[in-house]
Chain A
């Protein structure tokens, strides 16, 4: 079954078309990169997929469940890291994790155990008792990733999560998520950074609200010159 299917998705804000007839599908266990310059419609797409608001046209299915007509099973399978920080700054890391666990119906003990596990994997378990406000931007991002994985989603959407992360942090995050894909989880990774794309990734290039390319990244640039190919598609550097 496809992890995510988007059919004929269009959305406008007044006279401005944010998305135009977007179609795409993600297989289970794939690492897909949604690549586009700033303002290309990536965050609008994420907002629509996560059901924050409904699309004006088209439909979105997450593991076969429509986000519009049957949102609860769709959301239960979904983990999200929004571009905007969403942690509660005045609560500790542990309290933020527990809150998220409760929203996903996890018993407290299980949520605590999973939180320790996820935070350990991302190298921040020693900061569990600290208030989020005292953490650096990079560490907060790691906490957000750990939190999004707490309820073991089958599809993880990560909206420009590497903003503010150092090189090592970015690499840690990407390696971790790619390893989860090998275990069956699907990831939709949105970015405007070309160096986060690997040749084997499923690549979707979004520009001015339309999908300009969909397929394996190596298919777009067989010669390995992804930047040049992207420039040709969008008319601007990423």
Chain B
């Protein structure tokens, strides 16, 4: 594989993903409106019900809005990762995946490029949301926005890899609704995105354990700590290992000798 050619392919895949994302105005709008609805309506209702103690990385009592903003940024990455998965399934159904998979480059590279493109397209929207959140008095330190970039990237890659791995298992576009119900919602609600772990523990230690092993919780915590200029090594390690695992699964799923294509052809 010549690196020059591989980088051109990467650039081409990125351009295509950006064009598609920007072209889909509904998806673009939903990506920003969804977290704002949670922040503006859900958080406003919950702030009076849910008291928060001082937990790291916060050094004082914080408003509920402050607490859920990293979780909502994680939610944006999660939904975008799943949209990427949907887009892979759509491309497969519509045939354009064949163009990608018959390119003279290793499949892991092509899939990795798709993954990277998927993550990069969502980051500006997440930043737009973080800036709009300032209207709700969610104001992390200025340098926190910079420090959050690697955290958002790692979390985004991990969640996009999860979506990619899922797409290699979903056989038809119609099955995607099931993924929403059985994957996205449990991942989101059984996490630390909306409530801190100690709060969950009070209600159900079992659910707290599920939330603790949920990689999405670690993605959220990585973002939360980074926004307040702290590094959370456990969250980083979990996100990195989960990324490697999901990406490996996706590469296996799209391998010509195994996985999706061979299974699909056999149907």
Chain A interfacial positions (CB closer than 8 Å to B): 13-14, 44, 47, 50-54, 68, 71-76, 78, 80, 82, 84-91, 95, 98-107
Contacts and interface: CB of A to CB of B under 8 A. Distances in A.
Q: How many B residues touch the partner, as a band?
A: 35 or more
B8 A102 contact: yes
B12 A72 contact: no
B9 A102 contact: yes
A78 B102 contact: yes
Nearest to B110: A103
Contacts of B12: 98-99, 101-103
A71 B1 CA distance: 11
B9 A105 contact: yes
Nearest to B261: A53
Chief secondary structure at chain B's binding surface: helix
B256 A52 contact: yes
B166 to A, nearest CB: 20
B96 A52 contact: no
Contact of B16 (A13, A14, A99): A99
Contacts of B96: 86-88
Contact of A103 (B105, B262, B266): B105
Contacts of A13: 265-267
Contact of A91 (B5, B19, B101, B110): B19
A72 B105 contact: yes
A82 B20 contact: no
B116 to A, nearest CB: 14
B142 interface: no
Nearest to B1: A72
B257 A53 contact: yes
A105 B9 CA distance: 6
B103 interface: yes
A194 B15 CA distance: 42
Given A13-B265, A72-B1, A103-B9, A95 B16 contact: yes
A87 B13 CA distance: 14
Interface string B2-39: 10111011011101100110011000000000000000
A99 B265 CA distance: 26
Interface in B42-96: 94-96
Contacts of A44: 265
Nearest to A79: B102
Nearest to B20: A90
Nearest to B10: A102
Contact of A99 (B15, B23, B102, B266): B15
B186 interface: no
Contacts of A86: 94-96, 98-99
B149 interface: no
A113 B94 CA distance: 28
A66 to B, nearest CB: 12
Closest 4 CB pairs of A and B: A102-B12, A105-B5, A103-B103, A76-B104
Nearest to B106: A72
A63 to B, nearest CB: 12
Contacts of B197: none
A52 B261 contact: yes
A75 B16 contact: no
